[in-house]
């Protein structure tokens, strides 16, 4: 019929029928891989390291299995912690906080201190709102004057760098 299939029998690998043409006994599995354990209908997320196919749920995972949807594990020998660090400019995470190499940055953390955020906040009168003198000038935040007056601290995105 040309419609996207989203129904299959519980142990089938492939989605077979759309909602209009489904057969009795089929289950809706559009974006879900079911646990391989008999009579379990939970989503599968676990398999052995290095294998990307999801086979078992958290209740039925076997010894040594890891979550497949988190492939970026620390590359340090024997470490099983999720990786967060690598060198600037590299997109993949390589090491955890404990095994990072000097010069590596946290790729998983928020990018609050980046130039993009700084530029955005400059348009919100960051540079002038901490001044004591010149209180007569308007402190606008997207065209509005703050109700409680001018804040004394910069937003947390810029941290102590702006206070100095």
In tens, the pLDDT along 125-144 reads 545 555 554 444 444 444 55
Q: Are residues 164 and 116 in the same domain?
A: yes
150 domain-assigned? yes
- Are 115 and 161 in a shared domain? yes
Instruction: Please report whether residue 92 resides in a domain.
Output: yes
Q: Above 70 in pLDDT, residue 35?
A: yes
143 in the same domain as 98: no
Domain of residue 91 covers 72-109
* Residue with the larger pLDDT of the pair 2 and 113: 2
In a shared domain, residues 103 and 132: no
**Within 72-150, where are the H helices?**
115-122
In-domain check, residue 82: yes
Does 164 share its domain with 123? yes
Question: Rounded to the nearest 10 degrees, how much is the dihedral formed by the CA atoms of 108, 47, 56, 81?
Answer: -40
What's the predicted TM-score (pTM) here?
0.35
State both tokens at 150: 């001018």
Residue 161 has pLDDT above 60, yes or no: no
The span from the CA of 93 to the CA of 71, in Å, is 10
Q: Residue 156 above 70 pLDDT? A: no
Q: Residue 144: inside a domain, yes or no? A: yes
Task: Check residue 124 and give its pLDDT.
Answer: 54
21 vs 120, residue with greater confidence: 21
Residue at 130 is within a domain? yes
- 159 and 118 inside one domain: yes
> Following CA atoms 145, 149, 154, 155 in sequence, which dihedral angle do they give, to the nearest 10 degrees?
-60
- Domain total in the chain: 2
- Helices in 86-125 by DSSP H: which ranges? 115-122
The secondary element (H helix, E strand) that includes residue 22 is none
CB 42 within 8 A of CB 55: no
């Amino acid at each position: 019929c040309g419609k996207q299939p989203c129904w299959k029998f519980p142990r089938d690998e492939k989605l077979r029928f759309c909602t209009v043409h489904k057969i009795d006994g089929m289950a809706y599995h559009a974006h879900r891989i079911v646990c391989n354990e008999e009579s379990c209908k939970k989503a599968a997320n676990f398999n052995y390291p290095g294998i990307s196919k999801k086979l078992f749920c958290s209740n039925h995972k076997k010894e040594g299995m890891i979550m497949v949807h988190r492939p970026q594990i620390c590359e340090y020998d024997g470490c099983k912690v999720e990786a967060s660090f690598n060198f600037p400019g590299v997109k993949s995470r390589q090491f955890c906080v404990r095994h990072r190499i000097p010069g590596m940055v946290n790729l998983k953390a928020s990018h609050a201190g980046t130039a993009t955020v700084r530029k955005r906040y400059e348009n919100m009168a960051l540079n002038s709102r901490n001044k004591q003198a010149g209180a007569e000038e308007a402190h606008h935040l997207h065209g509005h004057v703050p109700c409680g007056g001018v804040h004394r601290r910069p937003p947390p995105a810029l941290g102590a760098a702006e206070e100095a």
